[in-house]
Structure 1
Amino acid sequence: MSSRGGADREPESEEGARVIPLRPELAAAPEPAPPEPGTELERRLADVLAFLRRRITGDYEIDEFGFDQELTDSVLLPPLRPLYEKWFRVEAVGLHHVPSEGGALVVANHSGTLPLDALMTTLAVHDEHPARRHLRMLAADLVFRLPVIGPLARKAGHTLACHPDAERLLRSGELVGVWPEGYKGIGKPFRDRYKLQRFGRGGFVSAALRTGVPIIPCSIVGAEEIYPKIGDIRPLARLLGLPYFPVTPLFPLLGPLGAVPLPSKWYIEFGEPIPTSGHDPGGADDPMLVFNLTDQVRETIQQTLYRLLSQRTNVFLG
């Protein structure tokens, strides 16, 4: 029988084994309290209400081109992410070639019947670049004539593909994107996939020369296969005021269902910048210099496309 009093007795387990108390410094820290139910939902709801209040009261900013950054980040970009991440499974490489600040001109190949390649490139720059930059696209005038789409394009920061607008954006330090093949690229037949069309007269090179910003070639693989264009109903295109009315294996045969893009695997590669600051701004009026730089950009994109295609084993699996 122990001679110590009950107050001095060491605790015992249910089996009678002695339990040695932990020293305070070795005691486990208390687990953090779980978040209260509904906290995350309440925060999201508060954010939505705050957003709506700012829209109603006009407490938000737009630039001279109509770019509404808050609307773009909160409303316009989120619906594109499932396409980018789950449907096309885009892999973007070479983003370290895109500067974190200051003006630069991204020049990419164009394809796919509908301009989803431009939207996916915009999302790649915003979501995967450390600086989360917005790519200000130069678009054809048809885009801004379309109901709903035109105003939304302005809100997203895009503008008409013309010299004055391009140079104003570049001089103000914006990242600008251009797809110089235009309708010739996006609407070309499937048999001509990944064959670059003419780059116009090199207007994008002139804008880069006048502002001294680098040109970043961008090559996109995967967009050619989303809507394989095998025909064109030209009378209907003229009636609707469109550059073409595409026929694909699924559209218009399957109606709206045929408008769902095929889930091809995409790669977007940003190449090494081509500097223009070493040239005199007056070089923008030198046809030979503009032609040579345009050809250099086009050839860089074409060779990168060939390399990416040679590494691809399957259109849908990559």
Structure 2
Amino acid sequence: MSAREQREPAPLGPIIEFLRVLRTRLDGGDGLAASFGGAAMALPRDARESLDTAVRRLGGRYTEDDWGFDEEFAEAVLPFLEFMYDRWWRVHSEGVGRVPAHGRVLLVANHAGIMPWDATMMGVAVMREHPLPRPPRFLVLDWAFELPYVSVLMRKVGGVPASPFNAMRLLEQDELVAVFPEGVKGAGKSFRDRYRVQRFGRGGFVEIALRTGAPIVPVAVVGSEEIHPKIAESRLLARLTGAPYFPITPTFPLLGPLGVVPLPSRWRIEFCEPLDLSSFGPEAAADRAAVLEISDMVRGVIQRKVYENLVKRRRAFG
């Protein structure tokens, strides 16, 4: 995939120049060191590198691929995501090694919540526990890419607007792609319906897998339903914000911005055995009966594994 280098944005010029001067002076390359009796204030190597990176990135000198994925940025935020994985949600993952290490692969998972925390935790599992890790690309509902700042962050860590065209392109580029066929039905279901995997629509992900020859890896996620338990929703606020739904939870909007902080539930993620559909051939994508049968089979596998992992988890918190 081609990559593009960003160029220095003019409005940030003064900030960039200030950081450059600060870097030079603190490292003993200017008159500041003399004011301390000639002792050079040599910065630790990691601090120097951090300042250099800040200057370079604020100057727009970083690389993104055609989708906006920024590998350097993704590596920088990985420690935070690992904290959420290890400490906040105490994620237990199984079967990560079943994910093919090379070539096009379609991860198909159950979904919960308005933000793609489940996708990011699946990504951390692959990056941390797979013998040959590679960053997954995850498909996200279009409306999320209209949110200020959030859209930029999602693109930089691997988020892509959800559409059959984008999924096809990613797989044709031999990417590891995560999709959530429940869509809004899964993300917006009430807490009383938690872990009941919703219908997968018309099986579009199966058509895509058949046309591209990508194996399907079902993924069961347990824990995401409790982080923002939806007890009601506001249609008025959904219309005002352009969101497909606006959840009311025990903490949001009651606690304001603090209510957005996800609750520290215990998570389990299981990657199941890949389903190789190559024997069907691309022409099977036009067979509606076959597509729906495969879709229902994948949904059944995920539902069964969700229930199994709920039993293994024992308790949602603590």
Range class of TM-score, shorter chain: 0.7 to 0.9
> 5+ unaligned residues in a row in structure 2: which ranges?
1-42
After superposition, give the CA deviation of every residue in 1:88-133 in whole Å (9 maximum; x if it has no partner).
0111110011111111000000013433212211221122222221
Partner of 1:134: 135
Is 2:57 the counterpart of 1:51? no
Secondary structure in 1 aligned to 2:63?
Answer: coil
Alpha-carbon distance in structure 1 between the residues aligned to 2:214 and 2:315? 37
- Map of 1:314 onto structure 2: 315
Question: Do the aligned partners of residues 229 and 282 (structure 1) sit closer, same or farther apart at CA in structure 2, a change above 3 Å counting?
Answer: same
Q: Would you say how many aligned residue pairs link Structure 1 and Structure 2?
A: 276
Aligned to 1:72: 74
Structure 1 residues 16-64: Cα deviation after superposition (integer angstroms, max 9, x where no partner): xxxxxxxxxxxxxxxxxxxxxxxxx823223324433543566543222
In 1: Cα distance, 2:260 partner to 2:54 partner: 32
2:159 paired with 1:119: no
8 Å Cα contact 2:268/2:313 also seen in 1:
no
The corresponding residue for 1:181 is: 182
Q: Which amino acid aligns with 1:295?
A: D
After superposition, residues 281-292 of structure 1 pair within 5 angstroms as: 281-292=282-293
- Partner in structure 2 of residue 249 of structure 1: 250
Residues 1:167 and 1:120: Cα distance change in structure 2 (over 3 Å)? same
User: Would you say 1:294 and 2:295 are equivalent positions?
Assistant: yes
Q: What amino acid is the match of 2:197?
A: L
Change (3 A) 1:236 1:55: closer
* Change in CA separation of 1:225 and 1:284 when aligned onto 2, cut-off 3 Å: same
Q: Is the 8 A contact 2:143 2:242 kept in 1?
A: no
2:82 — aligned with what?
81
Contact 1:112 1:225 in 2 (8 A): no
Shift of 1:158: 2.2
CA contact (8 A) 2:266 2:313 kept: no
User: Does the CA contact (< 8 Å) of 1:226 and 1:262 recur in 2?
Assistant: yes
* 2:40 matched residue in structure 1: none
Deviations 1:199-244 (A, max 9, x none): 1211111111111111000000111111111111212221221122
Q: Partners of 1:155 and 1:110 in 2: how far apart?
A: 21
Contact persistence 1:222–1:315 (CA under 8 A):
yes
Matches within 5 A, 1:225-244: 225-244=226-245
Deviations 1:241-266 (A, max 9, x none): 11222112222222233332221100
Q: How far 1:175 moved relative to its partner?
A: 0.3
| Equivalent residue letter for 1:68 | D
Greater mean alpha carbon deviation, residues 100-109 or residues 308-317: 308-317
Task: Please say if residues 226 and 261 of structure 1, whose CA atoms lie closer than 8 Å, have aligned partners that are also in contact.
Answer: yes
Structure-2 separation of matches of 1:252 and 1:162: 31
Name the CA distance, whole Å, in 1 between partners of 2:252 and 2:158.
31
User: Match of 1:73, as an amino acid?
Assistant: E
Report how far residue 311 of structure 1 moved: 2.1
* Contact 1:103/1:171 (<8 A) preserved: yes
CA positional deviation for 1:82 = 1.7
Shift of 1:157: 2.8
Q: CA deviation at 1:197?
A: 0.9
SS of the aligned residue for 2:279 comes to coil
Matched, 1:279 2:280: yes
Aligned-CA RMSD value = 1.8
Percent of aligned positions that are identical: 51
Paired residues of 1:126 and 1:134 also in contact (CA < 8 A)? yes
Distance 2:136 2:186 in 1: 20
1:210-225 equivalent positions in 2, closer than 5 A? 210-225=211-226
Compare the two structures and name the one with the higher helix fraction: 2
Say which SS state the counterpart of residue 51 (structure 1) adopts.
Answer: helix
SS in 1 for 2:45: helix
Q: Which stretch shifts more, 54-63 or 159-168?
A: 54-63
Q: Which residue type is aligned with residue 281 of structure 1? A: P
Unaligned runs of 5+ in 1: 1-40
Query: Residue 284 of structure 2 contacts residue 290 of structure 2 at CA under 8 Å; is this kept in 1?
Result: yes
Other-structure match for 1:16: none
| Cα 1:253–1:59 shift into 2, 3 Å | closer
Identify if the C-alpha distance between structure 1 residues 115 and 65 changes in structure 2 by more than 3 Å, giving closer, same or farther.
Answer: closer
Task: Decide which structure has the larger Cα Rg and report it.
Answer: 1
Residue in 2 that maps onto 1:61? 63
Partner Cα separation in structure 1 for residue 306 and residue 110 of structure 2: 9
Q: 1:271 to 1:84 in 2, by over 3 A?
A: same
Find the residue that maps to 1:219 and give its secondary structure.
strand
